[in-house]
Structure 1
Amino acid sequence: MTRVVLVEDHDMVAEAIGLALERAGIEVVARAATVAAALADIRRTGPDVVLLDRRLPDGDGTTLIPQLSATTRVLVLTGEATASIAARVAEAGGAGLILKSARLDELVEAVERVAAGEVVFDQKLLGGVLERLSGRVRFAGSTLTAREQQTLQLLAGGAGTDQISATLGVARNTARNHVQRVLDKLGASSKLEAVSIARREGLLD
């Protein structure tokens, strides 16, 4: 079962989201309404996904992402979305961004996709995110193996860890290792950044 920490300061919104997640079989292990409380709950519970409101009473929720992205997946919940905001989330290591105006079933699906290792950004924002990232990163120059190149192509198509595992016919942990090696060789901190670098360097068809 996917375990989620829900960070949202509006009680009615948090209640509705929590119920929708639990009905879908997703366990909400903690709820927080501030940046400080969220960090404490996340460290205490070690969730698979953090559903993180961007605007909280004590600050911008996205400031937590760099502290969390190495150990958990972060999906940002926001009332507004621009390419600039999406790029900031991606640069920090976030796994995606979803609008508060989305339907609850769309939000649940986004959480499930992020938990499976996918990156979830609105297609209208994605081009702007990649453009912003490509101007700020440098290619490490390492050579990808044939299997790592396959993994990169799958990442570019939006595949998550489970899909990469099934397509390549390898164990999930092996697929995760392939992804991490691609990120390491490209000098990327996220899958989205790796795809951006690869496109800029002509490594993708």
Structure 2
Amino acid sequence: MTPLRLVVVDDHPVVRDGLRGMLGTQPDFDVVGEAAGGTEALAVVRATSPDVVLTDLRMPEPSGAALIRLIAPEVKVLVLTTHDTDSDVLPAIEAGAVGYLLKDAPREELFRAVRAAARGETVLAPSVAALLLSRVRPQRPLVAQLSAREREVLALIAEGRTNRDAAALLHISEATVKTHLLHIYAKLEVPDRASAVAAAYRRGILK
């Protein structure tokens, strides 16, 4: 199988070195170039024809959405940054980025995101997904919709507890915990645990 051709764009040399080393551990990845800013990135992309560009947003011009707009959709762009505010996320997604991760993402999550981005699939950090959902859905008071037990389960999940842990702490069965989680997902209109926790913090259900 031909390795995915990757370009890393970040204005911090240590970050670029770290990403190159990390990505280089995967046999299906080939880091063919790197750049410290937008102008250099454009030249590297033209010279190497990568499958995926991993880029930060705040760096020498053209940066952020401007850079993404110049290379997408011909090249898949995966944003890798520390910023998840409206002013960063929305322009990047609108410009054509297929993925948006934060730099504290586990390495396995990053590897999966790169492969997904190469296939044109959208990959979003939970906080980013929650932000985008808040832009397309009207806000509704959700605290009253969650039962006291559902809020207890959600709080334990937010602490990183497993279903088994939650069941033991609440003196209920694991199956009951799973049922509560399904109800929580439905009420918060989210697909999984991470999204439920992100939505709960954003809407004030969890403090």
TM-score exceeds 0.5: yes
The answer on 1:103 being equivalent to 2:106 is yes
Map residues 1-205 of structure 1 onto 2, 5 A cutoff.
Answer: 1-25=3-27, 26-132=29-135
Whole-Å Cα distance in 2 between the matches of residues 134 and 75 of structure 1?
Answer: 25
Q: Closer, same or farther in 2 for the Cα pair 1:133/1:84, shift >3 Å?
A: farther
Root mean square deviation, CA, Å:
2.1
Counterpart amino acid of 1:32? A
Kept in 1, the 8 Å contact 2:53–2:75? The answer is: yes
Contact 1:7 1:38 in 2 (8 A): yes
Give how far 1:106 is off. Answer: 2.2
* Secondary structure, counterpart of 1:102 in structure 2: coil
What's the offset of the Cα at 1:63? Answer: 1.2
Superposition deviation, residue 115 in structure 1: 1.1
What is the deviation of 1:53? 1.0
Q: Normalised by the size of structure 2, how large is the TM-score?
A: 0.59
In structure 2, distance between residues paired with 1:133 and 1:34: 32
Q: Tell me the distance in 2 between the aligned counterparts of 1:91 and 1:134.
A: 17
CA contact (8 A) 1:62 1:76 kept: no
Contact kept, 8 Å, 1:86 with 1:121, in 2: the verdict is: no
Is this contact kept in 2: 1:34–1:56, CA < 8 A?
A: yes
Kindly indicate whether structure 1 or structure 2 has the higher relative contact order, using CA contacts under 8 Å at least 6 residues apart. Answer: 1
**Which protein shows a greater Rg?**
2
Instruction: Tell me the TM-score normalised to structure 1 length.
Output: 0.60
Gap regions ≥5 residues in structure 1: 136-205
- Unaligned runs of 5+ residues in structure 2 are 139-207
Partners of 2:37 and 2:61 within 8 A in 1: yes
Give the deviation of 1:39 after TM superposition. 0.5
Conservation of the 8 A alpha-carbon contact between 2:77 and 2:97:
yes
Displacement after TM superposition at 1:103 (Å): 2.4
Residues 153-193 of structure 1: per-residue CA shift (max 9 Å, x gap): xxxxxxxxxxxxxxxxxxxxxxxxxxxxxxxxxxxxxxxxx
C-alpha separation in 2, matches of 1:92 and 1:42: 17
CA contact (8 A) 2:100 2:128 kept: no
Query: Which aligned segments of 4 or more residues in structure 1 are displaced greater than 4 angstroms?
Result: none
2:102–2:125 CA contact under 8 A, matched in 1: no
CA-to-aligned-CA distance 1:116-144 (integer Å, 9 cap, x gap): 22101123322432453689xxxxxxxxx
CA separation of 1:133/1:85 partners in 2, compared to 1, >3 Å: closer, same or farther? farther
| Counterpart amino acid of residue 18 in structure 1 | R
Report how far residue 62 of structure 1 moved: 2.6
CA contact (8 A) 2:98 2:117 kept: yes
What's the offset of the Cα at 1:69? 1.2
Partner of 2:185: none
CA distance in 1, matches of 2:7, 2:136: 28
Q: Which residue matches 1:159?
A: none
